[in-house]
Amino acid sequence: MILAPGMPHCLRIIGLAAALLVCGGAQAACIVTGPPDAPDRICALALSASRVTALLPDGRTVELAPPTGLEPRAGCRLPDAGYLICGDTAAWVRPVQVAAQWRPVAGAPSQVRQAVGLGGNRLLLLYGGVATAGGLSGAQVGLYELTAGHTLAPLHIGVRSDANPRFLAVGELDDGPHALIGVVTVAVFDRYPRLRPWLYALAGERMTPAWLGTSFARPYITAGFGDVDATNAGDELCSLELDADGRRLITAYRRHGFVMEGVAQSGPGTLGDTLRTARIGPGEDLVCVWVGGATGQIVGYRMRSAGTGGLGALEPSLATPELARPAAWAVTVDGDGPHAVVLSAQGALERLQMRREAGVPVAIDSQSTL
């Protein structure tokens, strides 16, 4: 159930007929971030086709020759091992030190589409399936562990192919770590396949269903975790949604058992397809999105509370300078503050500081409600 603030006994669903936009499978390019400050370590890897580009803390970039036959598709950083990079049929791991070497990893499933580290050597993998015109179909999500012998050992297959998972994210709710899986399936009261948010608790060696939601308050494009509300101990769920007019906006929800309460939202804008979060202080995350078309900015939103019982506002706070729309991007935070790590369409990798004075032309409609 989704509750809007001030509406404890009713649910308002808007625009269910709006277009459903989801990713079609493996990304054409992606960026994996790592430790930002260590001088002898790689702080980000950009993966595209047969290229792997490393970003160093001083802003320099280095081309890393990938292992023979590896076409990078997805990756994540494992604190105890380094960067895990997956191709269609193989996986390799590389420690974060600049001079380190690639090591082969056994046991990786075929066609890894997304990898998310959980701390230590555990990770979630979205893999398999077929990329169709309507999106990824028939994939699975599994919990894995990288062993000391460099083998990916399956611990639990949490989401089967009949649920059609499209993306995954990991965060910390007030009752522990959880995974958010976007699935395209039917529901009890809605027999049409739509993108739906499913939550799984991550405890021990299993993915335990915690909330198999029918919908957020609106049709959504993607979602993730972000600690935007300082009054709440855990993360909120941040969803990139479509309003009744097809405009895009961000909504933050707080989970109360089987209820999702909307706590803040942005105004509508020309927003991209991806959400990223970055920890900018104790208990506070910046929620970042591309704003613009062929040119634009990567913009970070922060929550302004509306007081007890009110719907807060997610407002533009920091932004990069204007740039051409990148092939991939991520956000990191170091001693100089938040930076966007950007991979251009031409393959150039750079780091751009996000500043208040960059200017953000996004209107906030304070009268909008869930």
Average pLDDT over residues 193-218: 94
Report all structural domains of the chain as residue ranges with CATH numbers, in order of start: 28-215 (2.130.10.10), 253-370 (no CATH)
Q: Give the predicted TM-score (pTM) of the model.
A: 0.88
> Alpha-carbon distance 217 to 10, whole Å?
12
pLDDT of 302 over the 80 cut: yes
- For residue 37, the model assigns a pLDDT of 64
Q: DSSP letter string over 40-70?
A: TB--EEEEETTEEEEE-TTS-EEEEPPPTT-
pLDDT tens for 337-366 read: 999 999 999 999 999 999 985 554 443 333
> Alpha-carbon distance 246 to 240, whole Å?
12
- For residue 139, the model assigns a pLDDT of 97
**159 band by pLDDT with thresholds 50, 70 and 90:** very high
Helix/strand/coil for 75: strand
**140 band by pLDDT with thresholds 50, 70 and 90:** very high
- Specify whether the CB–CB gap between 327 and 345 falls below 8 A: yes
- For residue 320, the model assigns a pLDDT of 97
- For residue 1, the model assigns a pLDDT of 56
Question: Count of residues for the chain?
Answer: 370
pLDDT tens for 74-116 read: 999 999 899 999 998 999 999 998 889 999 999 999 999 999 9
> Two tokens at 66?
């990938």
- For residue 28, the model assigns a pLDDT of 73
> Alpha-carbon distance 164 to 185, whole Å?
7
Q: DSSP letter string over 170-213?
A: EEEETTEEEEEEEEEEEETTEEEEEEEEEEEEEETTEEEEEEE-
CA distances from 152 to 81, 90, 98, 124, 143 (A): 12, 11, 24, 11, 10
The number of beta carbons lying within 10 Å of the beta carbon of residue 134 is 12
CA distances from 177 to 95, 152, 210 (A): 25, 21, 11
